């Protein structure tokens, strides 16, 4: 299958779905985007969602190709329609085939859809200004001058960061569910609350470290968070 945006061949990935099914999705790494046939995004098992999260993290430092204004459905060739949706209080976008063959979504909007990303508050933007002057937009990659504003002048996206508590809790839940063969331990909420408290302490310390701001400057706020989560995942889950 060719990418709806750049027309280059996409990477096919076979993943586990619910109830023992197999889900085949297509990934364009240069565009950092995913193609889902039908409702495949909802059919992914916890372990498969975790694998996609790892893939996105591995590409955090790579340069993304800007999406073409005219993306075409890889199934029928029709022009994809831009759709805006809402996940809780987080708005995300994707491009949908008018004949419902599937949808095309960037890594960043996939994270938004899964509630991994949240906009920075004014206080957080002001605190960030004390350490860095410019950052790259996590949505389009354009340079954002923190001295003049707190949103991207190119695509209009608000400065956003990875929600560390949400990401850590979900990663732990996915790993636990995978180990339990999709059966979640009734005591898991208690374990997740303990993990959340540990995570807040860990990342509060980490974000005061100069290397955090170096990551922010080089790969953006969401990329810095993905890098931190990747480090955590390599250490493995600790009880």
Can you give the pLDDT at residue 1? 94
Q: What is the 3-state secondary structure of the chain?
A: CECCCCCCECEEEEEEEHHHCEEEEEEECCCCEEEEECCHHHHECHHHHHHHHHHHHHCCCCCCCCCCCCCECCCCCCECEEEEEEECCEEEEEEECCCCCEEEEEHHHHHHHCCCEEECCHHHHHHHHCCCCEEECCCCCCEEECCCCCECCCCCCECEEECHHHHHHHHHHHHHHHHCCCCCCCCHHHHHHHHHHHHHHHHHHHCCCHHHHHHHHHHHHHHHHHHHHHHHHHHCCCC
Can you give the pLDDT at residue 76? 96
Can you give the pLDDT at residue 238? 41
Instruction: Provide the whole-model pTM.
Output: 0.74
Can you give the pLDDT at residue 137? 79
Can you give the pLDDT at residue 186? 59
Can you give the pLDDT at residue 67? 92
> Which tens digit of pLDDT belongs to each residue from 92-108?
899 999 999 999 999 98
Can you give the pLDDT at residue 149? 77
Can you give the pLDDT at residue 214? 65
Domain ranges of the chain: 11-113, 119-235
Q: Which residues of the chain have pLDDT under 50?
A: 199, 237-239
């Amino acid at each position: 299958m060719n990418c709806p945006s750049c027309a280059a061949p996409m990477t096919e990935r076979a993943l586990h779905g619910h109830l023992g099914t197999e889900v085949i999705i297509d990934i364009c790494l240069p565009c950092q985007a995913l193609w889902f046939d039908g409702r495949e995004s909802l059919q992914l098992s916890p372990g498969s969602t975790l694998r996609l999260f790892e893939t996105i993290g591995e590409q955090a430092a790579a340069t993304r190709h800007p999406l073409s204004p005219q993306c075409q459905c890889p199934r029928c060739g029709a022009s994809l329609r831009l759709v805006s949706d809402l996940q809780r209080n987080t708005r995300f976008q994707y491009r949908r085939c008018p004949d419902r063959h599937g949808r095309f979504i960037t890594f960043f909007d996939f994270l938004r859809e899964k509630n991994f990303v949240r906009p920075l508050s004014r206080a957080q933007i002001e605190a960030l200004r004390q350490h860095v002057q410019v950052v790259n937009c996590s949505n389009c990659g354009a340079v954002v001058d923190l001295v003049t504003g707190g949103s991207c002048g190119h695509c209009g996206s608000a400065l956003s960061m990875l929600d560390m508590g949400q990401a850590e809790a979900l990663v732990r839940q996915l790993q636990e569910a995978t180990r339990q063969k999709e059966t979640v331990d009734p005591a898991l909420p208690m374990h997740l609350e303990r993990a959340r408290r540990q995570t807040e302490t860990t990342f509060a310390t980490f974000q005061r470290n100069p290397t955090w701001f170096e990551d922010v400057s080089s790969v953006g706020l969401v990329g810095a968070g993905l890098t931190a989560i990747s480090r955590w995942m390599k250490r493995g889950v600790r009880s």
